[in-house]
Structure 1
Amino acid sequence: MQYLRISIVRILLGVWLLIVIGVIYGNARLYAPSPLAASLSKAPPQLTSQLAANRAALESGAATRMQALFPEGYYFSYLFHGLAWVELAMRDASHTEEAIEEASWCLQHMESPEGHAPFPPDLPPDHGMFYAAWKCHLRGGIVTLQQASDEKQLALWRDECDEIVTALQTSETPFLPSYHGAAWPCDTVPAIHALCTYDHLLKESRYRTFVKQWLVEVEERRDRQTGLLFPHTASLPEGRAGSVARATSQVIVLRLLPDIAPRIAQLEYESFRRDYVTTFLGAPCVLEFPRGMSGTGDVDSGPLVFGRSLSATVFLMGVAQVYGDHALADAIAQTGEVVGLPWTSDGKKQYAAGLLPIGDIMVTYAHVARPWFAQTQHHPDQPYEMCAWWRLPIHAVSLLVLLPALLLVWRRWRHGLKPKQESQESSSRP
């Protein structure tokens, strides 16, 4: 029995020692270089290994598994993988050929029966706004990388853009529904981004007047509770604010808005940063609801941790890069390299052992974020502030784990020192 008791104590001490080592390692790793690139014209150093892991996951059926967990799990898995490749090639042209191939492969899956199965086939434009907008956005990225050289792809893209404009022009609302009776304003933004991208790439003004009018109608439906331009949901058929602006949708809007309306984007990001960006143990993160307002997580946000949204925080890492808020982006990225437990093997980098592939794909998409053609008009007049000592609360909490270890070492040192001192004193006696 005594032997068993000693064995259990040794096991517990071993587990405790592993925890202590993990805490020390995690605190030290917070100071490791950020996985993000220092410039939007450079590729993050580990991005290709992340993309390789994501491709392997998709080939093994990860998108189908994600569909069982999220309403758009299949679609989003291929969408963000394709967009990550597009924006990688926009940073580093040496990846262009492979990016076109990968993004086209993703687009084929999005257009497959399994890709549009969750979406209503009779809802204009083309299975509802969510499906149509993001598909048009990705195709625009492919055409951009091709420099509009593929006439067939360009014609398809133009037709999709025209179909979206027609649907919006014949609607009472600037926010078309994605499902019957349900509209999310952020779902329309990728479609508008595609229209602006078309005009920029083709040096045309095909959609300029329409986009200006759309922005006027959006302004009339601003979320009055937060002052932000886009509420989380919109009522139908008129498109008035249905619920308060939430981080899950705002980070999508903010990522695309600089290419649509740079000055508006600057103001929106400043407001969002003030009212939604917070910390948890010093590490920056995002509140799903604005300060002073509480709510519960749902299928859009996922579970909330003390009101904080993990998915919105991951997206903010990319959004902050877009707005030149690099210190904030790096802090989120460095924290993610600790919390996410990344592991690279055989040229593939995964987080949390790849248990949630769409999470890895979203992180990759955030790591490579950049505007498609906007310059710096949406950057702040003064640099955004970021506390240089943001890691200190994490270190302070970590001491609660390390303190028992330090006390144990101190007691052992004291007990070991005492007999030695007594022995020295006795040997000095005559």
Structure 2
Amino acid sequence: MKQLFKILFSLFLILWIALLLYVNIRLGFLPELEITPDGVVNQDVLHQLYFLKKELHKNQAGEQMQQLYPEGLLFINSLYALTWYDLVKDLKYSSPYYKEAIQEIDWVLQRVQSDEARSIFSESLEIEYGAFYTGWSNLILGRKLLLLKPVDRSADDIRLFKSKCEHIAGFIKDSDTPFATSYANQAWPADMVICVTSLPMYDHLFEPKYQYVTRQWIKKVQQRLDTVTGLIPHSVHAQTGYPEEGARGSSQSLINCFLPEIDPVFANNQFLHYKQFFLDRRLGLPGIREYPEGEFGIGDIDSGPVIWGIGGAASVVGLRVMSIHNESDVAVGLRNSIEGFGAGWTSGDQKKYLFGVLPIADAFIAWANSGPAIKASMLPDWRRDFLIYSTLTSLAIYPLLYWMWRKSTR
């Protein structure tokens, strides 16, 4: 029995060293970029999309995710479509990837506009079907319109997009609170941020119309910030819009992805607070906290796993936030930490994380990786520090193994 314990414990220590070695190798990850006549294509993101395409089309990943939490079907499809948009938005119309992106976004729109996708949302809310459903479904539609030439845009798509924008603007004009509900008497500001993102898209696509409404919305939001952090809160009172739960990393990361499209000045101010209260490091590696420093909380359906205070969803989406705000070293640190601890693996033309067991995690990572291109120094501090910690840990394990087996041999 004693000998079996030694063998098992030794195997554990050896596997731990192997894991440290693997993670350190993956921390040097660089995405594969293909230079084509139509533009630069991130092959890693493309391979992630092909994995998600198979999961969504053949394995009904949307329906599976719906079983895990209420918005699973809408969320995974939305992230999939938005990643296609990011991949091809700078490519020429002649690119085969561009044509494939339009086909996939159309497929997603059919899914999210179906009765099945709308079934859990109430049609009678202030904004039809609520802020979550309207925000994400209209965002996808707007992104599709941005990709297409004006002559290729469907009249039905234009009519629907304009109608949704008018409903969103109407709510902002008529309501005392800036945050529409997603379900009866339940309001989350991040959902409304997605809704409001449609308004500057409308102004870009068509004629300027919603600048004043957007400014109105920002003023109302600024009156209802979390008093501790100065950030947009996680959840609010449905009637007044005042905070019920303060800022959290998962919603903050999402909010800070879209605020720059709405109001760059306010977005920059919010980003500085976000960095102050949520950007942290563990063993030299960057991560985004789920709760502000000094506040304890556990993981839930919004945050995903929370380990040592660092939020899973907050850190993945935080990668996109950091790339949008040109925080290159932090963005690379987050991206490569996800590669290492998420066990990113490419086989053929498909890439998945965590062995592909949770496709919505792959969708979040793909969308985060499809943000603005990031560049960083060859050996940033976060990577050097983790290498030192790993080396010291390994050096401590080797003598232990030697002592155990030398004593056993004697």
Q: Do the aligned partners of 1:80 and 1:362 also contact (CA within 8 Å) in 2? A: yes
Superposed CA deviations along residues 159-190 of structure 1, whole A, max 9, x for unmatched, are 11112222333322110000101101111111
Q: Do the aligned partners of 1:36 and 1:367 also contact (CA within 8 Å) in 2? A: no
Q: Secondary structure at the match of 2:121?
A: coil
Equivalent in the alignment of 2:44: 46
Equivalent in the alignment of 1:72: 71
CA 172–397 in structure 1, closer or farther in 2 if over 3 Å, else same? same
Separation (CA, whole Å) in 2 of partners of 1:220 and 1:167: 17
Equivalent in the alignment of 2:23: 26
CA 178–6 in structure 1, closer or farther in 2 if over 3 Å, else same? closer
Q: CA deviation at 1:127?
A: 0.8
> Following superposition of structure 1 onto structure 2, how do residues 346-365 of structure 1 map, counting pairs within 5 Å?
346-365=348-367
> Following superposition of structure 1 onto structure 2, how do residues 240-255 of structure 1 map, counting pairs within 5 Å?
240-255=242-257
Separation (CA, whole Å) in 2 of partners of 1:46 and 1:386: 20
Separation (CA, whole Å) in 2 of partners of 1:127 and 1:106: 18
Separation (CA, whole Å) in 2 of partners of 1:35 and 1:273: 29
Q: How many residues align?
A: 396
Separation (CA, whole Å) in 1 of partners of 2:403 and 2:295: 47
Q: Secondary structure at the match of 1:188?
A: helix
Equivalent in the alignment of 1:391: 383
> Is 1:213 aligned with 2:216?
yes
CA 14–326 in structure 1, closer or farther in 2 if over 3 Å, else same? same
| Aligned pair partner of 1:404 in 397, 403, 406 | 397
Separation (CA, whole Å) in 2 of partners of 1:171 and 1:98: 41
Separation (CA, whole Å) in 1 of partners of 2:145 and 2:395: 55
Q: Secondary structure at the match of 1:404?
A: helix
> Is 1:128 aligned with 2:130?
yes
> Following superposition of structure 1 onto structure 2, how do residues 214-293 of structure 1 map, counting pairs within 5 Å?
214-228=217-231, 230-293=232-295
Separation (CA, whole Å) in 2 of partners of 1:405 and 1:169: 67
CA 390–241 in structure 1, closer or farther in 2 if over 3 Å, else same? same
Query: TM-score, length-normalised on structure 1?
Result: 0.84
CA 223–18 in structure 1, closer or farther in 2 if over 3 Å, else same? closer
CA 5–308 in structure 1, closer or farther in 2 if over 3 Å, else same? closer
Separation (CA, whole Å) in 2 of partners of 1:225 and 1:275: 10
Q: Do the aligned partners of 2:31 and 2:43 also contact (CA within 8 Å) in 1? A: no
1:403 aligned partner, one-letter code: A
Separation (CA, whole Å) in 2 of partners of 1:305 and 1:386: 28
CA RMSD after TM alignment? 3.0
Separation (CA, whole Å) in 2 of partners of 1:347 and 1:63: 21
Separation (CA, whole Å) in 2 of partners of 1:290 and 1:386: 31
CA 11–108 in structure 1, closer or farther in 2 if over 3 Å, else same? same
1:114 aligned partner, one-letter code: E
Equivalent in the alignment of 1:177: 181
Separation (CA, whole Å) in 2 of partners of 1:256 and 1:24: 37
| Aligned pair partner of 2:194 in 190, 193, 212 | 190
Q: Do the aligned partners of 2:236 and 2:244 also contact (CA within 8 Å) in 1? A: yes
Separation (CA, whole Å) in 1 of partners of 2:302 and 2:8: 42
Separation (CA, whole Å) in 2 of partners of 1:195 and 1:367: 25
CA 404–113 in structure 1, closer or farther in 2 if over 3 Å, else same? same
CA 89–32 in structure 1, closer or farther in 2 if over 3 Å, else same? closer
CA 147–397 in structure 1, closer or farther in 2 if over 3 Å, else same? same
Equivalent in the alignment of 2:344: 342
> Following superposition of structure 1 onto structure 2, how do residues 371-382 of structure 1 map, counting pairs within 5 Å?
none
CA 307–387 in structure 1, closer or farther in 2 if over 3 Å, else same? farther
Query: TM-score, length-normalised on structure 2?
Result: 0.88
Q: CA deviation at 1:19?
A: 4.0
Unaligned runs of 5+ residues in structure 2 are: none
Identity within the alignment, %: 30
Q: CA deviation at 1:349?
A: 0.4
Separation (CA, whole Å) in 1 of partners of 2:376 and 2:220: 30
CA 20–238 in structure 1, closer or farther in 2 if over 3 Å, else same? closer
Q: Do the aligned partners of 1:34 and 1:334 also contact (CA within 8 Å) in 2? A: no
Structure with higher Rg: it is 1
Q: After alignment, is 391-400 or 332-341 more displaced?
A: 391-400
Equivalent in the alignment of 1:148: 150
1:405 aligned partner, one-letter code: Y
Unaligned runs of 5+ residues in structure 1 are: 372-382, 414-430
Q: CA deviation at 1:334?
A: 0.9
Superposed CA deviations along residues 52-88 of structure 1, whole A, max 9, x for unmatched, are 0011111211111111212211110101000111111
Superposed CA deviations along residues 30-70 of structure 1, whole A, max 9, x for unmatched, are 22325799xxx854331111100011111211111111212
> Is 1:168 aligned with 2:172?
yes
| Aligned pair partner of 1:316 in 315, 318, 325 | 318
Q: Do the aligned partners of 1:34 and 1:333 also contact (CA within 8 Å) in 2? A: no
Equivalent in the alignment of 1:369: 371
Q: CA deviation at 1:306?
A: 2.3
Q: CA deviation at 1:298?
A: 2.4
Q: CA deviation at 1:100?
A: 1.5
CA 6–135 in structure 1, closer or farther in 2 if over 3 Å, else same? same
Equivalent in the alignment of 1:420: none
| Aligned pair partner of 1:107 in 106, 109, 114 | 109
Separation (CA, whole Å) in 1 of partners of 2:285 and 2:31: 14
CA 17–247 in structure 1, closer or farther in 2 if over 3 Å, else same? closer
